[in-house]
Amino acid sequence: MQQHISRGKVDVFVTVDSSMADDMTVRINEPLLRGYLEAIEHIAEEHKLPNDATAMSVSRFPDVLSVEKKGGGRGGDIRRHLRRRGAGAVRF
């Protein structure tokens, strides 16, 4: 898009259709989750605070849960599609 736009600001909004939920799976980033839990435990012990972490609260931390298409990653297909669609969007 930068090749076609030389000045100004461009806002792009992407909407993902979740009607294909049967083809999706939720993944847990276990190493990251363990890191968060260890950090929470350290904070609780160091500052004499209650460790009241719940499954729901830690699942909301950034990047602990991700949604992927079954049988492959989500990144490449989406990026390729956006590049094709984005290039078409700037044609006048």
Query: 13 pLDDT band (50/70/90 cuts)?
Result: confident
pTM higher than the cut 0.85: no
21: three-class secondary structure by DSSP:
helix
16-63 residue pLDDT tens? 666 666 778 899 999 999 999 999 999 999 999 999 999 999 999 999
Give the position of tokens 């461009």.
10
The amino acid at residue 3 is Q
CA distance 83 to 89: 10
* 8 A C-beta contact, residue 86 and residue 14: no
Q: Provide the b/e sequence for 63-85 (b: ≥16 CB within 10 Å).
A: ebeeeeeeeeeeeeeeeeeeeee
